[in-house]
Amino acid sequence: MTFTPEEKKEEKEEKKDDKSKRTRAARSRRRWWIALLAVCLIAIVAYVFFIKPEEAARNKNKEAAPPPGVPVVAVAAKKADFAVYLTGLGSVTPVNTVTVRTRVDGQLMEVPFREGQVVSSGDLLATIDPRPFEVQLTQAEGQLARDFAFLKNARLDLERYRVLWEQDSIPKQQLDTQEALVRQYEGIVKTDQGQIDSAKLQLVYCRITAPIGGRIGLRLVDPGNIVHATDVNGLVVITQLQPTTVIFPIPEDSLPQVLAKLKTGGLLPVEAFDREMKQRLAVGSLLTVDNQIDPTTGTVRLKAIFPNERNELFPNQFVNARLLVEVRRGATVIPAPAIQRGPQGTFVYVVKADRTATVRPITIDEIQGGDVSVKAGLSPGDLVVVDGADRLREGTRVELKAQGGGTTQKGS
């Protein structure tokens, strides 16, 4: 195959162009590698002179910083008056409870009271049919009138016999017989008067009134029934609400303390709370102490009286009674959750000024609800740990937190 001079010339030019392109590509690759090497050198220099010293400084500071403290909640012990109470589960017992019964037999005609009504002493509660007793009264009054006439006639005859005896016209026996007859009629008249009084009393009993003031219960007999004085249930029950009492027990070991306070003549306040010991229902005072200790429970019963002006207490209601027996002035008081117990006895964790915890043995005086009176081992102002003590040991660093969960300031 032969080429013309023009074709050979074109082939030479194409080979020349390919050679120049390869030359330019090789130069471009060399420039890229030079630039990459320059960047690497700059990064190495920056790391050696700038980044590495800063990391070393940070690591040094991190190694020098103390470890974080254990988060705890601490409260300062305070100096306050500490009230000592005795508590017991008691029941509300009315001062008076009366079952109203009829005192005569008859038909119950009227019951004017309403169930649950508060009545006063003397208010009308029921009416018994009075007509049978009115008839008895009429009969007794007629009997009295007849026998009084006999008595009057016997007295006149006695006066005559006395005149005749003085004239020696009749024997002494006849005079004595007439005197005995007068005394007999006097006795009959007195008996008749008793029958009249009895009939009048039965009429009074036909009107049944409230013997005491208080709250009426549910009606036990409806009008129209025949009632008897021997009925067991009665007509209605009245319970006195104002004042009322609460009977509650205390341990026998606490009895001498209570008796000593009663001998001084002062009133011992008693508070009545609900079953959950959250709401105070009423305030009263100690009335008396029972005369014997229950050997089965080792307790003695106390009775407290409450005005109950707003009917806060209801008969047979269960309440928690709290008796104030003493107030200790200027006691060191801390929250009960701060108390810890171990082989070494009772202690608390106290936060020192350097924010480390130390074990402090204490002597407990009294525990009342959520507060503790400390007899020895603490002073007012000492910070005691109330939350987070289970993670502490002697010398543990702590971080104080507020009770709401936030961290307190360093200066606090």
DSSP string of 82-137, one letter each residue: EEEEEEEEEEEEES-EEEE--SS-EEEEE----TT-EE-TT-EEEEE--HHHHHHH
The answer, yes or no, to whether residue 100 has pLDDT greater than 60, is yes
Query: What pLDDT is stored for residue 134 in this prediction?
Result: 94
Average pLDDT, the chain: 85
- Which amino acid is it at 281? L
Question: Which whole number is the average pLDDT over 287-300?
Answer: 92
The per-residue pLDDT for 48 is: 57
Q: Is pLDDT at 404 greater than 90 in this prediction?
A: no
% helix, strand, coil for the chain, step of 5: 35, 35, 30
Of the pLDDT bands very low, low, confident and very high (cuts 50, 70, 90), residue 64 is very low
Distance of alpha carbon 334 from the chain centroid: 24
* H or E element at residue 296: none
Which has more confidence, 29 or 229?
229
Which of the two residues, 235 and 391, has the higher pLDDT score?
235
Res 320: pLDDT: 94
pLDDT at residue 363, as a whole number:
87
The pLDDT of residue 371 is: 85
Query: Cα separation of 333 and 335, whole Å?
Result: 7
pLDDT higher for 400 or 103?
A: 103
Q: What is the DSSP letter of 405?
A: S
pLDDT given for residue 7 in this prediction: 55
What is the percent of the chain where pLDDT is above 90?
Answer: 47
pTM over 0.75: no
Q: What is the mean pLDDT of residues 164-179?
A: 89
Give residue 286's pLDDT band: very low, low, confident or very high (50, 70, 90).
very high
pLDDT of residue 412: 37
**Residue 51: is its pLDDT beyond 50?**
yes
Q: Which of 10-14, 189-193, 301-305, 328-332 has the lowest mean pLDDT?
A: 10-14
CA angle (406, 400, 331) in 5-degree steps: 115
